[in-house]
Structure 1
Amino acid sequence: MNQKRVSLRGILGFPVAPYLPSGAIDENALFRNVSYLIDEGLDSIFIACGAGEFQTLSSDEYGVMLDVAIDAAKGRVPVYSGVGGNLSYALEQVKLSEKKGMEGYLILPPYLIDGEQEGLYQYIRTILEASDLNAIVYQRDNAVLDLNSLQSLLSYDQLIGLKDGIGNMESNIIFTQYIGDRLNWLNGMPMAEVTMPAYHALGFKSYSSAISNYIPHISRQFYSALLEGKDEQVSEIYKDVILPINEIRKQRKGYAVSLIKAGMEIVGMSVSNIVRPPVVPVEKDHYKQLEKILDKAHRKYPAVRI
C-alpha cells in the first residue's frame, strides 16, 4: 500500500455542475466555484458527487469536472471524486480518478437495487479492490451498512472513512464505539449544519456543507462557534440562517441540489438556477424567500477578510 492515508477534518466543499445555456458544463464557472471554496478555507473538495449532479453526467463530462477541479485546486487541498451507480461505470470512474491524480473517491450508492448486506459488501469490495486510492463510503438511500458489513470492509486499508446520510444515531453510536478512529467519520446529512452538534459529540470531525457554496464564511463562523462551545452564537446562526434555509430545502425533492445553485446566483456567482431532470429548479417564491434570508445573513454576519 503506497497511498498516503489521511485524516479528514473541517468543512468539506461539494461544488455544483454549472451549465451553459447550451446545457454543456460551464468550465469557467466550475473553476471559479472550486477556487472560491478553497480560498474561503474549506478543507477538501469533492467533485462530481451529489451536489455536482453525478447521476446526470456523461463519461466525458465527468472527466472534464475532475480536470477542472484538479486545475483549480493546484494542490492546495485534497480533491476527491464521486464514483458509484452502475458497477462497471463505477470501476471506470475509479481508474479515471486514479489516472487524474485524485486523493481518493467517495463511493455513492449502487444503481436502483436494494441489495442484501452481502450484495452491498460485494459491491463496495469490488470497487475498493480496483485501486489503492483512499476511499470513503457514503451511507444513504439503498446503501446502508450494518456493523458486521462495515467491519468486514476494514480489512481494506484504502477504506478511510464513512459519510453518513441516514441520520440513524443509534447506528452511528454503534459504529463509532466499535470502530473508533480506524475510520474518518463524516456527516453527510442534507443541510449538515442542522445535525452537526449531535454528530460532533460522536466523533464526526467533518461535514459536507451545501451553504458553503454561497455563504462559506457563515459555515465557518457556525463551525468555529460549535467547536469553541459558543452556544449562543450557534443558536443565533441556527435561527437566522440555517433553519430558515433548511425549511425551504424541505419544500421540494431535489432542492438539496438546486437550492445551492439558487443561492450562488443570488450572491452574484456565475451559476444559473439550472439543473438537469429529474431535479427541478427553485421556484420563484422559494427563490425570493432565500434572497431575504441571505440579505439578512450578509448584514448580520459579514465576511471578515484577513
Structure 2
Amino acid sequence: MSSERNAPTGILGFPIVPFNERGNIDEKGLTKNIEFLVENGLESIFIACGSGEYHAISTKEYEAVVELAVSVVDGKVPVYTGVGGNSVEAIEKAQLSERLGADGYLILPPYLIEGEQEGLYEYYKAIIQSSDLNAILYQRGNAVLQLDALKKLVEFPQVVGVKDGVGNMDLNIELTQTIGERLGWLNGMPMAEVTMPAYIPLGFDSYSSAISNYIPHISRKFYDALLNNDKQLIKDLYEDVILPINRIRKKRKGYAVSLIKAGMKIVGLPVSTEVRPPIVPVEQEHYKELEGILKKAFEKYPTDHKISL
C-alpha cells in the first residue's frame, strides 16, 4: 500500500470484470484489460467499481479480482477498489482491500436508503475508520454530501478525494472553492470526457474514462488537448468519437457497462460481451454503430500501441 495521502490524478482506469460463456469471471481477460490500461499510461486502476459490476459479484469473486489487480499492477500505479452497499459489507471489503495490498477505495452509495446528511456522515465515517487506506467519497445516487458533512469528513486523514457523479455545479463550486486543495477532485460523470471542460476550472484534475478500456489513446489525446487549450482538436474529437459514442451509451440503461465490453471486443481485446442482470448486452444494431465509429477513429487518429494478445 502506498503511504501517500493523495488522490490519483490524470486519467483513471476502471476495468470491467469479464465473464466467460459459463458466467464465471474470466481472469485472463481481466489480466489483459488491466495490463492494457497500465501499458497505455493510465495513472491508476479502480477495480470492482461500477464498470466492474460491483453490484453483481460475490465476496469471493471480489477478493479474486482485487488480488489479481494488485498482482498485475505490481506497484506501477495506485490500485483502488470499490466498497459500498450496506455498511457491514462495505467495511468488510475495505478491510479486505487493505489486507490484499490495495492503495485505497472508492466508497459507493449505500443501498437504496436515502439518508439525512448526518446519516451519510456516519455511513462514511464507519467505513473510513475501519482501515488506514486512502478513501475517496463518491457523490452519486442517494449519497450526495453537502458542505457541512464533507467538512467533518475531511478531518479524517484517510479521506483524500471526492468523485462527482451528479453534476450539480453549484454544489461543486461550493465544495471545491471552500475545501480547495485539501482534497483531490475527480470527475466521475457518465462519459466524463463530455463534461470535463466544465470541471477543470474548478480544480478537478482527473476523470474516470470508460472509453480508455478500448481507445485509451483517444482519452489521452483529448485530455492533453484540454490541458493545452487546443480547441480545434477538442472539437474534432467530440465530433468524431466522443459524442457519437455517448449517443449510443444513452440509448439503453446499463450501456455504461456493456458498451465498454462491446468496444473492447471490437478492438480485439480477449473479452466476451457477457454481463450480469440487470445489465443487458449491447444490441446488434448499436454494436455495429460502435464498430463504425471506432473504425473511423482509428483511421483518423491512429495509435502506435498495438494490442498484444
- Which category of TM-score, normalised to the shorter sequence, fits these structures? over 0.9
Residues 120-159 of structure 1: pairs in structure 2 closer than 5 A: 120-159=120-159
Structure 1 counterpart of 2:127, which letter?
A: I
Q: Does 1:108 align with 2:108?
A: yes
Structure 1: any 5+ residue segments left out of the alignment?
A: none
User: How do 1:160-239 and structure 2 match up within 5 A?
Assistant: 160-239=160-239
Written as runs of structure 1 = structure 2, the 5 A alignment for 1:89-108 is: 89-108=89-108
Structure 2 residue aligned with 1:297: 297
Residue 70 of structure 1 pairs with residue 70 of structure 2: yes
Distance in 2, matches of 1:218 and 1:79, equals 22
Question: By how many angstroms is 1:8 displaced?
Answer: 2.2
Please list the CA deviations of residues 165-196 of structure 1 after superposition, one character each: whole Å capped at 9, or x if unmatched.
00011110000100000000000000000000
Contact 1:8 1:205 in 2 (8 A): no
Match of 1:4 in 2: 4
Alignment check: 8 A CA contact 2:7 2:136 kept: no
Deviation of the 1:115 alpha carbon: 0.9
1:26-80 per-position Cα deviation (integer Å, ceiling 9, x unaligned): 0011011001000000000000000000000101100010011011101100000
- Aligned residue type for 1:6: N
> Letter of the aligned partner of 1:9 in structure 2?
T
In 2, distance between residues paired with 1:289 and 1:98?
42
Using the alignment, how far apart are the partners of 2:171 and 2:255 within structure 1?
A: 27
Question: After the TM superposition, which residues 255-274 of structure 1 pair with which residues of structure 2 at under 5 Å, given as runs?
Answer: 255-274=255-274
Partners of 1:120 and 1:280 in 2: CA distance: 31
Match of 1:83 in 2: 83
Structure 1 SS opposite 2:108: strand
Q: Could you tell me how far apart the structure 2 residues matched to 1:222 and 1:4 are?
A: 28
Counterpart contact for 1:187–1:204, Cα < 8 Å: yes
Q: Which amino acid aligns with 1:51?
A: S
| Residues 85, 108 of structure 2: 8 Å contact kept | yes
Deviations 1:80-105 (A, max 9, x none): 00000011111110110000010000
Aligned to 1:13: 13
> Which secondary structure state, in structure 2, belongs to the residue aligned with residue 91 of structure 1?
helix
SS at match of 1:109: coil
The CA distance in 2 between the partners of 1:72 and 1:37, in whole Å, is: 11
SS at match of 1:110: coil
> 1:22, CA displacement in angstroms?
1.1
1:43 matches 2:43? yes
Cα deviation code 1:128-178 (max 9, x no counterpart): 110111000011000111111111111101000000000011110000100
Unmatched tracts of structure 2, length 5 or more? none
8 Å Cα contact 1:3-1:132 kept in structure 2? no
Shift in CA distance, 292/63, structure 1 to aligned 2, threshold 3 Å: same
The 2-side partners of 1:132 and 1:240 are apart by 44
Q: For 2:22 and 2:86, how far apart are their aligned partners in 1?
A: 27
Residues 244 and 293 of structure 1 are in contact (CA less than 8 Å); yes or no, is this contact kept in structure 2? yes
After superposing on structure 2, the runs of 4+ consecutive aligned residues of structure 1 that deviate more than 3 Å are: none
| Distance in 2, Cα, partners of 1:69 & 1:123 | 27
Which residue identity is paired with 1:80? Y
Instruction: Tell which has more relative contact order, 1 or 2 (C-alpha 8 A, sep 6+).
Output: 2
3-state secondary structure, aligned to 1:88 = helix
* Partner Cα separation in structure 2 for residue 234 and residue 4 of structure 1: 33
Q: What is aligned with 1:55?
A: 55
C-alpha contact 1:91 1:127 (8 A) present in aligned 2: yes
Q: d(CA) in 2 for partners of 1:304 and 1:149?
A: 47
Deviation at 1:304, TM superposition (A): 3.3
Q: Say if 1:162 and 1:233 are closer, same or farther in 2 by CA, change over 3 A.
A: same
Letter in 1 for 2:98: E
Matched residue of 2:84: which SS? Answer: strand
- TM-score, normalised relative to structure 2: 0.97
**Matched residues in 1 for 2:273 and 2:7: separation?**
34
Matched AA of 2:100: K
Q: Give the superposition deviation at 1:7.
A: 4.2
